[in-house]
């Protein structure tokens, strides 16, 4: 019996080879039980390193986030910024600043670092460690920005959460529809990785 991880890889392969077609560049998402996210990323890295029948480029989001200007600006704010009435709650200001800018800057970094991969439909781009961006960016924001920037590759995202009533629930938050994405409905758990 196929696992959700196997279904995810097969769906990515099918889109990258043209066996399946979508209206636009395909986005494929699979829910992952949060404790399994790191192991799923390891398995997908191994797939990319040799087992995949198509070119696969893993992109670790937690490694890109610190390279963004918005992250550097928030981390670099001196404590004196929050004095003299500039902000009442530093954590709230920092969180909102990251929410407003992080996804856009991350996609810019991804495109800059992987320009050739982003221009080929037969290339799979895996966005890994999405959980590290919580609560600053959602997968839908990243995918919307990739679509806006005309990324052509097949994009796969294992997201920490679940599907509830056909909607994506990221880390148990309120479930939302994200129509442009193809999704695997079953969630990858540690049992699938035994």
**pLDDT tens across 16-39, in order?**
999 987 766 689 999 999 999 999
Q: Could you give the CA distance from residue 24 to residue 146 in angstroms, rounded to a whole number?
A: 11
72 in a structural domain: no
Domain count of the fold of the chain: 1
What pLDDT shows up at residue 64?
A: 94
What pLDDT shows up at residue 53?
A: 92
168 in a structural domain: yes
Cβ atoms of 188 and 30 within 8 Å: the answer is yes
80 in a structural domain: no
Q: Could you give the CA distance from residue 39 to residue 19 in angstroms, rounded to a whole number?
A: 28
Asked which of 73-82, 109-118, 146-155, 181-190 is least confident by mean pLDDT, the reply is: 73-82
Q: Report pTM.
A: 0.87
Reply yes or no on whether the pLDDT at 84 is more than 70.
Answer: no
Q: What is the mean pLDDT of residues 170-175?
A: 63
Reply yes or no on whether the pLDDT at 3 is more than 70.
Answer: yes
What pLDDT shows up at residue 194?
A: 85
Using 50, 70 and 90 to split pLDDT, how confident is the model at 43? very high
94 in a structural domain: no
134 in a structural domain: yes
**Structure tokens that stand for 37 in this block:** 């996210």
13 in a structural domain: yes
161 in a structural domain: yes
- What is the average pLDDT value for the chain, to the nearest integer? 86
3-state secondary structure 115-164: HHHHCCCCCEEEEECHHHHCCCCCHHHHHHHHHHCCCCCEEEEEEEEEEE
β-strand partners of 181? 27
Q: What is the CATH number of the domain that holds 25?
A: 3.40.50
Q: Could you give the CA distance from residue 82 to residue 70 in angstroms, rounded to a whole number?
A: 17
Asked which of 61-75, 126-140, 162-176 is least confident by mean pLDDT, the reply is: 162-176
**pLDDT tens across 87-122, in order?**
566 677 777 888 888 999 999 999 999 999 999 989
164 in a structural domain: yes
Domain boundaries, position 132? 4-64+100-193
């Amino acid at each position: 019996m196929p696992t959700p991880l196997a279904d995810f890889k097969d769906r990515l392969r099918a889109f990258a080879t043209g066996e399946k077609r979508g209206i636009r560049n395909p986005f494929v998402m699979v829910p992952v039980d949060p404790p399994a996210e790191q192991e799923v990323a390891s398995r997908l890295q191994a797939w990319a390193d040799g087992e995949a029948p198509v070119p696969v480029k893993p992109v670790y989001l937690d490694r890109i986030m610190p390279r963004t200007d918005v992250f550097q600006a928030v981390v670099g704010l001196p404590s004196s910024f929050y004095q003299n009435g500039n902000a009442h709650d530093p954590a709230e200001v920092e969180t909102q600043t990251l929410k407003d800018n992080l996804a856009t800057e991350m996609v810019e970094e991804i495109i800059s670092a992987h320009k050739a991969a982003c221009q080929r439909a037969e290339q799979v781009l895996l966005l890994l460690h999405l959980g590290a961006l919580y609560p600053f960016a959602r997968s839908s924001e990243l995918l919307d920005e990739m679509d806006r920037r005309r990324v052509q590759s097949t994009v796969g995202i294992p997201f920490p959460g679940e599907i509830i009533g056909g909607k994506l629930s990221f880390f148990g938050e309120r479930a939302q529809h994200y129509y442009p994405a193809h999704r695997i409905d079953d969630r990858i758990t540690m049992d699938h990785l035994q």
